[in-house]
Amino acid sequence: MGKKEPIIITDKDEMRQWSRSIRAQSRTIGLVPTMGYLHEGHLSLIQESHKHTNFTVVSIYVNPGQFSPNEDLSTYPSDFLGDIQKLKSIPGGVDVVFHPHNLYDYGKNNGVKTDENQEEVMVVSCVENSGIGHETWVRVEKLENGLCGKSRPVFFRGVATIVAKLFNIVEPDVAVFGKKDYQQWRIIQRMVRDLDFGIKVIGAELIRDEDGLAKSSRNVRLSPEERKKALSISKSLSNAKSAAGKGHIDCKVLRDSVIHAIHEAGGEVDYAEIVDQESLESMKEIKSPAVFCVAAWFGNVRLIDNMEINV
């Protein structure tokens, strides 16, 4: 059987037209939003979409709205042709790859400046910088505050806004997000509930490499030595989960054990928090479904991981 060649759509009006023609046939559409540089974690989201819908759209778009001015958007890895090959390798493939050039309106020149070589250079979509163009943001106010939101204050504003835009353009019935980005998944679920999007948001299980490291596009930037050290995150989380299963439910003790293990391995902890699975509020003792969320730096790579704890 030949590999399925996805339709590649770059224009948002064309994307919306395609979706509406599919839905007019009473067929369902799943959306898997990505920033590209796909790995097995992303591919598992597509396989999850296949279980729930007739057609699957994968969006590939590096969203400038979720990068703050001190984060370098230009270093985000990309390999569009490689991504298409990976998508073709999945059983059932994907129907459409939505790969827009820019989804923000920056005013008159639409934010495209040219450098000396006449190549297009995108400007970051933050209205604070210029006072023109895009200025409407979606905030999920309580859920965005803790965990990753502490060190990346504009991140979830950018995520919620771009996902709302993608939902309005693609008009899917189902959207699939990975539970690796646990806070993001919960934020999108809450946004859909609060703004009455007619979309079912599914959280797909976190995928790990054989050594236990959570799959991430950032892993390629770890040196072999840093990668070994980074295994301290998943190992210490597993130990904390099994301790909780044996009745050790004091969150401070469990947190300290994970922080200590990561520091011992030479990592720097951004946060290590045990929170309620729904509200993401910190817990003192694990007495209801919890999730242990960690972000840590190894070298110049920030990694996130989590484990759900149901005692």
Do 18 and 29 meet the contact criterion of CB atoms below 8 Å apart? no
The set of residues, in sequence order, having a beta carbon less than 8 Å from that of 276 and lying 6+ positions away, is 283, 288, 289, 290, 291
CA dihedral 114→217→182→230, nearest 10 degrees, is -130
Contacts of 261 (CB under 8 A, 6+ apart): 232, 235, 236, 239
How many angstroms separate the CA atoms of 158 and 67, rounded? 8
Q: Which of 42, 50, 99, 248 is catalytic?
A: 42
CB atoms within 10 A of CB 10: 11
CA distance 171 to 299: 40
Sheet holding 55-60, edge to edge: 7-9, 96-98, 55-60, 29-34, 174-178, 200-204
CB atoms within 10 A of CB 27: 12
Q: Is 263 a catalytic residue?
A: no
Using a CB cutoff of 8 Å and minimum separation of 24, what contacts does 22-25 make?
A: 22/54, 22/55, 23/171, 23/173
Distance, CA of 84 to CA of 67 (rounded, Å) = 25
Write out the two tokens for 41.
């974690």
Chain mean position to CA 215: 12
Positions marked active-site:
42
